[in-house]
A = this chain, B = another copy of it.
């Protein structure tokens, strides 16, 4: 899936920044879908953000698709490291 304006990449910022960003996409930008993406330790945070946005703020949202993946690469010491990722597609219910 290619990046688009509706993707939100979860990182170190405060939790509510991301929840607000998701809600804003649906309310002020009238998006039909928003994709919440994260890697590694931020995966659980991405799930929390999606759940809070869809159940506490906008109750007509659902996680229509959840995709997990991973990529392997070598770290500075030449050791193989695998990093997992998640993509949560939130969609407005009819």
User: Which residues of chain A have a CB within 8 Å of any CB of chain B?
Assistant: 40-44, 47-48, 50-52, 55-56, 63, 66-70, 72, 82, 84, 86, 88
- 11 A-B pairs within 8 Å (CB atoms) are namely A43-B43, A43-B47, A44-B44, A44-B84, A48-B70, A50-B68, A51-B70, A55-B82, A63-B68, A66-B86, A68-B88
Contact partners of A42 in chain B: CB under 8 A? 44
Contact partners of A68 in chain B: CB under 8 A? 47, 50-51, 63, 66, 88
Contact partners of A40 in chain B: CB under 8 A? 44
Contact A84-B43, Cβ < 8 Å, known A63-B68, A67-B66: no
